[in-house]
Structure 1
Amino acid sequence: MIKAGIAGAAGYTGGELLRVLLQHPEVEIAFAHSRSQAGQPLSKVHGDLLGETALTFSGGPDADIDVLFLCLGHGESAAFLEQNTVPQGVKLIDLSQDFRLKARNVRGGRTFVYGLPERNRERIAAADSIANPGCFATALQLGLLPLVSQGFAGEVHATGITGATGAGQKLAESSHFAWRNNNIQAYKSLQHQHLAEIDEQQAEAGGTAHIHFVPWRGDFARGIFVSQQLRTTLSLDELNNLYETWYATHPFTVLSSRPIHMKQAVNTNKCFVHIEQAEGQTVIHTAIDNLLKGASGQAVQNMNLMFGLPETTGLHLKASYF
């Protein structure tokens, strides 16, 4: 059994990771760390875990482990590693943005590999440290990867909507029910933080697409739907063939010939892709769950690869379709 520890287990991504790992056939949770909830049962914060586990939150790393997940706020993962010694034999998977960029992906003798399996599967399998991609970064990149692999260098105009859990648990005006309900708002237009990691990964893949991205806050709890508009000389049939070939060996990215919607992806580790063409324009739609394929599910997928397990292990999850 793989012994796993979770730092920051009281948040949304930490809670989702607990739900997945508690059902994982090859994992035993050694500790679930939370400074604010130390000593309390997990079910005090994650009420759906009542009756699922008797674990309590620990105040720090307090057990021998094989892998440590960092489900901390942005900037807090780096601080955690400065304050706590993690043995070199322990694998690290960070879900924040602290180590995604090359300028800061080396820490304490470790080099963090960018954890997008559809692009870096072999590197992930050989790595001891993973920087999990951002949720919007995952949805945007999975919509463009096959094209970028062919050297696509055009302009991309993208919009994407995300649920309230994408903002984390910290209270803000825009996370209150009264504000979110029946409401939509654009935010961080053309300057979302995930664009930097996408640009680096695209450059490595040989493409230089320029993404103009406008994200929206949606009036729902979880999920992401992204539409990317661009021009290409490839026909719709050629695009579908390219995408089918690229994702044929990647179990979680699914090309659909019919229009997709977000509920197909919510509560799963899948990314659904649908391509349309009209008036000389191509539109590529992607749908993911921001907490699973966009965070904790992808982290478990990366863990499976690092430990030589089938990457689908523990991730056969059912969509909340109704």
Structure 2
Amino acid sequence: MINVGIIGAAGYIGGELLRLLLPHPRAEVTKVYSASQQGRRVDSVHPNLRGHTPLTFTDPADLDSHDVVFIAVAHGKAAEYVTSLGPDAPCVIDLTADFRLRDPVAYQRYYGDAQPAADLTADFTPGLPERYRDQLRTADRISVPGCMATAATLALGPLAAAGIVRPDVLIDAKIGSSGSGSSATTTNLHAERSGAMRVFAPHSHRHEAEVAQETGLRVRMAATGVEAVRGAQVLCHCTTEPGVGEQDLRRAYRAAYQDEPFVRIVAQRRGLYRLPEPKILIGSNYCDVGFSLDPDSDRLVAIGALDNLVKGGAGNAVQCLNIRMDWPERTGLEFVGLHPI
């Protein structure tokens, strides 16, 4: 049994980490930290955890030693904790953007500030098991990618690796309101969000840099906030190389994901859920990927869908933990989603 601490446990991602880790058979959450909620009971902030934990939030300034520390704070803040933790945290799993991008110039372009502790980025292994499983087995510093970046990378990665799509890709991403975090702002008030399909990033969404870094493609990404609370879906508009057909696409996906526990290929010709749909993934650690190829042209749409707080965040982090500790990869992540919902 390992000793786990969570910094930033009062946010939505922090709440999902608690939901997944409190019943985890091989991890014990011993302390949770929040600068804004210190002294309050966890279940006063995360009411779904009533009866499951007596923990209260502690000031991060009073950080104890833990076998594993998860960091789920605002972008730009994680580096401060990583720098100060040292040997008090043999393993750190960061869910912020601070160590995702290997190019500090790209970081400054997309986040508007110099990359904090950029010299430490090389110490971090990307927290995407489908691409970095072997490295994660021995990683002491792990950086979990963004939710829409995960969906797009898993949808595009096999096609790029097989060389069957041309390098220019346009990603149209949609995400529920929880993607904005738990901080109350005018933008996220129910009166402003309800019924809206708000284009909050018509171009140059931050996650495009992550997708480009992982796939080697020239990526452009737009993002729209939709009325759902949870869920992210990406439509990746591509052009196939000459002669590429549906069987080539299926072959590439199967080669990449046939043994993956949390990626499913969903590309059917009929049925209500014939392509990846976030609704049936809520609460689960699955990412569904699929495609639609125009039979009369070389136009392809590759699609990825996931729960932005689970496979797009906390679930991916727990999957990385399981790999790092050499535990069965599905441990604590068996929930398969609901239908209907």
TM-score (norm 2): 0.88
Q: Structure 1 154/110 Cα, relative in aligned 2: closer, same or farther at 3 Å? A: closer
Equivalent pair of 1:110/1:129 in contact (CA under 8 Å) = no
Aligned counterpart in structure 2 of residue 137 of structure 1, from 142, 149, 152: 149
Counterpart residue number, 1:257: 267
Equivalent pair of 2:173/2:234 in contact (CA under 8 Å) = yes
Equivalent pair of 2:65/2:89 in contact (CA under 8 Å) = no
Equivalent pair of 1:110/1:128 in contact (CA under 8 Å) = no
Task: Give the AA of the match of 2:307.
Answer: D
Which segment is superposed worse, 84-93 or 259-268?
84-93
- Is 1:226 the counterpart of 2:234? The answer is yes
Counterpart residue number, 1:205: none
Counterpart residue number, 2:110: none
Task: Give the AA of the match of 1:150.
Answer: A
Shift of 1:172: 2.2
- Is 1:163 the counterpart of 2:179? The answer is no
**Quick one: distance in 1 between partners of 2:98 and 2:283?**
26
Alignment RMSD (CA, Å): 1.8
Which segment is superposed worse, 102-111 or 159-168?
102-111
Counterpart residue number, 1:293: 311
Which segment is superposed worse, 173-182 or 152-161?
152-161
Unaligned runs of 5+ in 1: 203-207
Q: Structure 1 246/184 Cα, relative in aligned 2: closer, same or farther at 3 Å? A: same
Shift of 1:110: 7.3
Task: Give the AA of the match of 1:67.
Answer: V
Task: Give the AA of the match of 1:239.
Answer: L
Equivalent pair of 1:252/1:270 in contact (CA under 8 Å) = yes
Q: Secondary structure at the match of 1:166?
A: helix
Q: Secondary structure at the match of 2:52?
A: coil
- Is 1:311 the counterpart of 2:329? The answer is yes
Q: Secondary structure at the match of 2:312?
A: coil
Task: Give the AA of the match of 1:244.
Answer: R
Shift of 1:62: 4.1
What's the CA shift string for 1:81-105, capped at 9, x where partnerless? 34x3331661000000001112467
- Is 1:36 the counterpart of 2:48? The answer is no
Counterpart residue number, 1:212: 220
What's the CA shift string for 1:118-169, capped at 9, x where partnerless? 1111111121000100011001101001011124442212211100010011
**Quick one: distance in 2 between partners of 1:189 and 1:180?**
17
Q: Which structure 1 residue ranges, 4+ long, deviate > 3 Å from structure 2?
A: 61-64, 103-110
Task: Give the AA of the match of 1:114.
Answer: P
Counterpart residue number, 1:239: 249
**Quick one: distance in 2 between partners of 1:111 and 1:196?**
19
State the aligned residue count. 316
**Quick one: distance in 2 between partners of 1:154 and 1:50?**
49
Shift of 1:244: 1.1
Shift of 1:68: 0.3
Equivalent pair of 2:209/2:219 in contact (CA under 8 Å) = no
Counterpart residue number, 2:48: 48
**Quick one: distance in 2 between partners of 1:163 and 1:292?**
13
**Quick one: distance in 1 between partners of 2:100 and 2:192?**
32
Q: Structure 1 108/215 Cα, relative in aligned 2: closer, same or farther at 3 Å? A: closer
TM-score (norm 1): 0.93
Equivalent pair of 1:192/1:213 in contact (CA under 8 Å) = yes
Shift of 1:106: 5.8
Shift of 1:37: 1.3
Shift of 1:225: 1.1
Counterpart residue number, 2:73: 72
Q: Secondary structure at the match of 2:310?
A: coil
**Quick one: distance in 1 between partners of 2:7 and 2:88?**
17
Alignment of 1:266-281 (within 5 A): 266-278=282-294, 279-280=296-297, 281=299
Unaligned runs of 5+ in 2: 105-114, 269-273
Task: Give the AA of the match of 2:170.
Answer: H
Equivalent pair of 1:2/1:27 in contact (CA under 8 Å) = yes
Counterpart residue number, 1:94: 94
Task: Give the AA of the match of 1:218.
Answer: V
Task: Give the AA of the match of 2:338.
Answer: S
Q: Secondary structure at the match of 1:147?
A: helix
